[in-house]
Structure 1
Amino acid sequence: MELQLFVMYCALCMVYAISKPIKDRFNPDEPLSNREHDDRENFDYDHEAFLGQEEAKTFDQLTPEESKERLGMLVERIDEDKDGFVTTEEMRKWIKDMQKRWIYENIDHQWKTYDLNGDDVVSWEEYKNMSYGDLVDEPDSNDDGFSYRKMMLRDKRRFKLADLDGDQNANKEELAAFIHPENFDHMHDIVVVETMEDMDINGDGVIDLQEYVGDTYSQEGTAAPSWVKTESEKFTALRDKNKDGKMDKEETRAWVTHSDYDHAMTEAKHLVNEADANKDGRLTKAEILDKYDLFVGSQATAFGKALTRHDEF
């Protein structure tokens, strides 16, 4: 249920143009996979942590011999300083690069949908027309105050921030920042602002416990599920750092920008610890190849996907 607690509107895709957009929630504490992370049993957690269950099947396309050969080539790229060792920081950077690569592949997939005139940029007008069309002229909902026009104006504000050169067009880098603002440092302010706008119901500039929990659970007269208690405890112990009963802007920033948790570093430490045979805190190529099944099934190789690409080598 924690996945439901963090509110952030992603850019509207075509499917949302014909129905009310759904709030897409993610949370820095959400596990990378719903599988139990127990390497003694299997590497399912690592397989699904980045690509998901279906994409993780890419690993099955390679024999162990092919995996080792291609992983060996990949190790040389991860070892940036070419000293023969892969450090935790080098592993973390590689994992972050793999995450970014997925983002840009997603942008490539959507590009022609928005670049209607084929001029290699997406203008605000192109994005607005493709995502909203005439929906902005529809009356606001009387039930919950939902408004396509308000959402469009919010997207316009985010688009302007992502448009670094101010030409009112987005290249692929800028469109990536617009659609995936949580992954770009210069977009973090707008992520915080949008989150507080969504959750600060009474408009007092902070998020109290009721707003934090009530954002997803507000069924009066019914018994609260167990996750409500868990989330309330997390709010008090982790979110509300100054213990005033509310999340201010900086506390919200620490939550939504993952500044208090680094998934890439956590995975990097896990990989290094599992493969570090001599326990010197760094990995040799031999140590990595000896644990090839772990690395092929982890973020380090985009779960086998990178190993199947001929352009990697």
Structure 2
Amino acid sequence: MLLRRERASPYDVVLAGEYYFDLIFSGLGEVPRLGADVWSEGFDAVPGANFTTARALTLLNTNVAWWCETGSDLFSSLMISAAEKEGMDTSLFQRRTENRIRVSAAFSMAEDRGFISRFDGPETLPSTEILARLRPRVLLVQGLTCRNELPALFAFARSHGIYCCFDCQHVDESLEDANLLAILENSDCFLLNDTEAARLAGKSDLEALAAISRFTPLTVLKRGAKGAALLQQGTDVLERPAPKVDVVDTTGAGDSFNAGFIYGLLQGWPLEKVLDAAVLCGSAAVTAHGGKALPVEGELLRRLKDAGK
């Protein structure tokens, strides 16, 4: 497990991954379909994806720097303005003079959500030189495709004592893909949801977790309303339930879960409590649009204490 220790670096976490600006339509009577106007009762426009994780870590009093590509387009400007308003560290934003549009129209139903998205321009990763300079305790990569340089970046980071986490986030590769296996073998922790696990392993739920866990030290499965499970190599499956909440919007729940999980690791907690913290953060996120109900550190600690954790 990751132990609490002092570092010269000001950063607990370097987060790498794209932003999205989400246009969220909620309260739909039916799933959108061709040839029909479907009206929503609710609407919100908020930055999402890694923005949610960075904001959640900031609220949890974690020193996080977010590496992402931004541009001269409207959606980049809206996201940057929101990040600055939230007091987030934007020093690693890669500010380009051309467009870096990342926008999603999300239709949010009670049980799930769907997206129509647009992605312009390439995404990049921090270099080994930047990681060597920053020396964060954790490198969390979310949403980037299985690019060739990621295994070497993880290997370099781990050789410098940096704990490496990778979130699946719609990666299209299968477990047979050599690049994905190389990424997993060079990471410390792999986080994914039940849909992604089923696609990667060709199995469902805990069977998928067992199949995937052969390739990386710690695998964490986000199971929605069923909570979460993890499997550390050489141990038994650990499952934790989710509290019953009124679901408003599931967008960003996985991103918030990841923040709670990383926060727990940074505290040096046992995996049971780490997973409880992650589930509480993910569950809080679904009670409002765009992650607006994310807990601050004191609130998360209170909820854990009230639950006897």
- TM-score normalized by structure 2? 0.23
- TM-score normalized by structure 1? 0.23
Greater RCO, 1 or 2 (C-alpha within 8 Å, sep 6+): 1
Query: Which structure has the highest helix share of the two?
Result: 1
Larger radius of gyration: 1
